[in-house]
Structure 1
Amino acid sequence: MTASAAAAVPSLPTLPGRRAMLVYGLLGFAAGLPFYMFSTVLVLRLQAHGVALTVLGFFAWVQLLPTLKFVWAPLLDRYDVPGFARFWGKRRGWIMLAQLGIVTAMAAMAWTSDDASLPLTALFAVLLAFWTTTLEVAADAWRIELFPTQDQQGPIVAANLWGYRSAMVAAGSGALLLADHGGWALAYLAIAVAAFLPFPMLVAMRPDAARGGGRMVALATGVLGGAVILGVVAAVTATVGYALLQTAASIGIDATSNVTPWVLGLCMVPFLAMAAAVPWIRTLPATHRARTSTAIGPYVDFFWRYRTAAIVLMAFVSLYRMGDVLALNLSKPMIKELGYSLSQIGRADGVVALVASMVGVGLGGWMVTRRPMAWALAVGAVVAAIGNFGFVWLAHQQVSEAMLYVATGLDQFGNGFAGAVFVVYLSLLVNPRYPGAQYAFLTGFAFLLPRMLAGAGGSMVGVIGYDGFFLLSGALSLAAIPILPALTRIRARKDDA
């Protein structure tokens, strides 16, 4: 990779409104497909191969990788991808590389679809999560640079989430139907092809700031350079994963371990670290090394701008989507245990989920353009909680596809509505000087606590049962509402540089 000078707002192509919505709809589609394949679909695949419930919970920690994207997000603001960036610019260059990574990882997951080696399955799932997250970081940075205001963010976020929700249907419904009739390998290969659809569109778009060489030369250079980067990332991931497995084994963690107390303890570490650092950060001058650093400067800037109120903001964002994240990983295994087939689950995740989530996303995107943000956030929390409580209701009904449609519709409407409002809110907290890194940090932290707890979800169900688990997830969806009055009084400090 080659370094490029950091700029407050990098050069970007001007996208007309309809074209922007099309682009972001497709990018949401490309990101949503693989997410479902390393989360919900993977859990069902492992369950079909007889993997224990506790281990299924451990696989939820693959979803922790997106919460850690702030670790490498500054690299996407600072560096270019060889070949791609010289013709298509920084943001599109990273998006194109990420798509190559997604297709490669998905093909590898198809190759290991028998799950004979769980460590190998985990490796490819982690790689898929890494490249999916990288795609989201680059696309979010591009979106925030192009559309900085609340009125602009509403429609573009809705388009992006419409694409994402459509992908959830394609992955959640289409992949399960394919798996039921043609096997898991076919399902993963088909979704890999669909996830690659935006790549030709990006190649065909006009250049951003071509610096020598034609389109085909840039494409060939980018593919070759990308292959090297993909190989390096895979080797590093395998090495780190092996070390973690050896460490876990050495301290006695296995499929029967109750890791919930350890998880809760680890969840407290980021809060304690932030609380300790904020009094120091708020006094730093603009020239201080911590504020100018490529690695940590964007994050220090966030705490400098919001001072002690940053702790309130981080508490809120970590709570707001907790219920939905906890429910995501174990809702399908619960439904399967109730007696529903993969085809029935797939049909429920088809038209019903698509329509419900589209309506939820549309109403959420509309509400942020018409109502105060705190009001929209409160409504989102309530409808998300109702969606979680719907699974408790479903567990006490006769097995009926119609009842499954009702529960799925409630869940997807609440998830879509709350998701649209939340994305706009987080985008408005970001300093436009660091759109990629700060948005990655906020969204990553937003899901850190929920996904760490989700990894212990199997253990929790063993203690409190599915009813208790989904009652808890619904209650947690409401837990952020008492913080909303404090949010309305928070204002960011203006830059001093």
Structure 2
Amino acid sequence: MTDAPTADRPEPAPPRNVLWRALTGLGWRRAGVMLLLGFAAGIPILLVFSTLSAWLRIEGVSRTEIGFFAWAGMAYTFKFVWAPLVDRIALPFLDRWLGRRRSWILFSQFALIAAMLLAASATPGEGLVVIAMATVLIGFSSATQDIALDAWRIDVAEDEHQALMVAIYQWGYRLGMIAAGAGALMLADATSFNFAYAVLAGLMVIGIAGVFLAPEPPRPKTLGGGTEAVEGAVGGNPLGGVAAWLYSAVVAPFVDFLVRYRWIAILILTLIGAYRLNDFILGYMANPFYVDMGYTLSEIAAISGVYGVFAMLAGAMLAGLAAVRWGVYPVLMVGAIISAVSALGFTWMAMVQPTDPFTVVDGAALSPWPMEKNPAIWRLTLAITAENMAGGWAGTALIAYMSSLTNRAFSATQYALFSSFFALPGKLFGGFSGIMVDSLGYASFFTTTALIGAPAVLLVWIVMRWRAAREVASAPPQIS
């Protein structure tokens, strides 16, 4: 039996016990379901971006055309447009059977399976139309799944458990990315990309199981943003009722955000959009860069798809611990800085030949790694370590920041708004990444992506100063 804590000797609370208590408080069922649903959410994203770009490059598609495929993922950018529909519309039969949140998750998962199988039936070398259609459908269905999943996560857990739910989601999500990244590349290397896509469609069954195991959260009341005033004004008028529904579903979430943050709201949205812009642009050309440098699909899968994911998770965990100690805003600033600087690792790698020998000093190679005969792998590992750890840190910081901006009365729609602004500039400018590489070369391209990260640092600094000034203004006067 554990001794009771005293004033002189507080309870030690080792990390393992803290995690155990947190999971127990959250509920093992919800934790397990979050892991399964996170896995299903992590599969589609790479089928719109890096895995797709590797397939297209190997099939001989030009880098310019690969860059244009970035626009196929615009659904992630504009998902806030139909997020209110996911929040308010009841799907026939499914809504009564599963509830609002789970029915939309299941519907989007079936659409994803159909789109993946469509892509599996096509060949890029014979034409890109079917691949483009399948990719657009994957992006739209995946974005819809994200909307419903975010709403389920926010509704099913209390405020004190949200961070833990996000952490569990990230682990499931990254495992799904491993399957769609490294797993797909390894399968494609041994068989074909068509077979890999079919296997990934089958793995979506894991997410379907999560839907049936998940508890359905109670439907939250929509309050704020002038909703009550509008609903009270229309009375029993049918047309007024429709107008009130549209206002509460579509307009009120945005009004609420603007009323709470006023002029700084535009700056906040700009910060969200600029924060990961350099990572988006770099990411579109990462796999084509590895292929053009001479790496095999298995090497890319092992270093980028497997090791890189765990490096990203390590960065995310470090950011989470740092946020507990110092708060979200300092972690947000550090993330903006290291995200920009880490891109220079790819500049360094692009400036050396992938088969150059190690520099030898006093008869010994500089690297202690057992890969001395292949310095290209060593360089690739270092660059991916820096970029992925920085990306994990910055991603966790941004999610925590966006979550802090959300009003729970409109959590699904407002979070969709923030995440769409986060993706908008990357999707828009990412389409030109192939043109940039063809014009500048890889080394100058990666240096440019590092410079693109500089405005985010300035925006974080401005928002930090505004928040500090607001806290000072709202603080109670000191009594001397």
Report if TM-score (shorter chain) is over 0.5: yes
- Contact (CA 8 Å) 1:317, 1:446: kept in 2 or not? yes
- Contact (CA 8 Å) 1:107, 1:189: kept in 2 or not? yes
Deviations along 1:95-126, one digit per CA (max 9) or x if unpaired, are 11111111111111101144522122111100
Report the alpha carbon displacement of residue 206 of structure 1 after superposing the two structures with TM. 5.2
Deviations along 1:257-305, one digit per CA (max 9) or x if unpaired, are xxxxxxxxxxxxxxxxxxxxxxxxx999953979934333322332232
In structure 2, C-alpha distance between the alignment counterparts of 1:136 and 1:104, rounded to whole Å: 17
Deviations along 1:391-446, one digit per CA (max 9) or x if unpaired, are 11221334222221222222221111111111111111112111111111111011
Report the alpha carbon displacement of residue 373 of structure 1 after superposing the two structures with TM. 1.3
Report the alpha carbon displacement of residue 48 of structure 1 after superposing the two structures with TM. 1.5
1:90 maps to 2:100: yes
What is the letter of the counterpart of residue 433 of structure 1?
A
Report the alpha carbon displacement of residue 15 of structure 1 after superposing the two structures with TM. 8.3
Identity percentage of aligned residues: 34
In structure 1, C-alpha distance between the alignment counterparts of 2:402 and 2:379, rounded to whole Å: 35
Greater Cα radius of gyration, structure 1 or 2: 2
In structure 1, C-alpha distance between the alignment counterparts of 2:427 and 2:203, rounded to whole Å: 27
User: Which residue number corresponds to residue 16 of structure 1?
Assistant: 26
1:26 to 36, 40, 51: 36
- Contact (CA 8 Å) 1:77, 1:434: kept in 2 or not? no
1:375 maps to 2:334: no
How many correspondences in the alignment?
A: 408
User: Which residue number corresponds to residue 313 of structure 2?
Assistant: 358
- Contact (CA 8 Å) 1:157, 1:365: kept in 2 or not? no
Q: Is the alpha carbon distance of 1:396 and 1:297 closer, same or farther for their aligned partners in structure 2, counting shifts above 3 Å? A: same
Matching of residues 346-495 of structure 1 within 5 Å: 346-399=301-354, 400-488=376-464, 489-490=466-467
Q: Is the alpha carbon distance of 1:15 and 1:97 closer, same or farther for their aligned partners in structure 2, counting shifts above 3 Å? A: farther
User: Which residue number corresponds to residue 280 of structure 2?
Assistant: 325
Using structure 2 for the length normalisation, give the TM-score: 0.79
Report the alpha carbon displacement of residue 366 of structure 1 after superposing the two structures with TM. 2.4
- Contact (CA 8 Å) 2:73, 2:135: kept in 1 or not? no
Per the alignment, in what secondary structure is the counterpart of residue 50 of structure 1? Answer: coil
- Contact (CA 8 Å) 1:91, 1:139: kept in 2 or not? yes
2:67 to 47, 57, 72: 57
Deviations along 1:290-334, one digit per CA (max 9) or x if unpaired, are 993433332233223211111110111011011111111101101
- Contact (CA 8 Å) 1:77, 1:436: kept in 2 or not? yes
What is the letter of the counterpart of residue 334 of structure 1?
F
- Contact (CA 8 Å) 1:155, 1:365: kept in 2 or not? no
User: Which residue number corresponds to residue 362 of structure 2?
Assistant: none
In structure 1, C-alpha distance between the alignment counterparts of 2:458 and 2:405, rounded to whole Å: 19
Matching of residues 63-462 of structure 1 within 5 Å: 63-147=73-157, 149=159, 152-205=161-214, 287=230, 292-399=247-354, 400-462=376-438
Q: Is the alpha carbon distance of 1:482 and 1:346 closer, same or farther for their aligned partners in structure 2, counting shifts above 3 Å? A: same
Q: Which runs of 5+ in 1 are unaligned?
A: 1-13, 211-281, 493-497
Per the alignment, in what secondary structure is the counterpart of residue 294 of structure 1? Answer: helix
Deviations along 1:131-183, one digit per CA (max 9) or x if unpaired, are 1111111111122234464x533322222112222222221111011111100
In structure 2, C-alpha distance between the alignment counterparts of 1:31 and 1:182, rounded to whole Å: 25
Q: Is the alpha carbon distance of 1:386 and 1:165 closer, same or farther for their aligned partners in structure 2, counting shifts above 3 Å? A: farther
CA RMSD of the aligned region, Å? 2.7
Per the alignment, in what secondary structure is the counterpart of residue 434 of structure 1? Answer: helix
Report the alpha carbon displacement of residue 389 of structure 1 after superposing the two structures with TM. 1.7
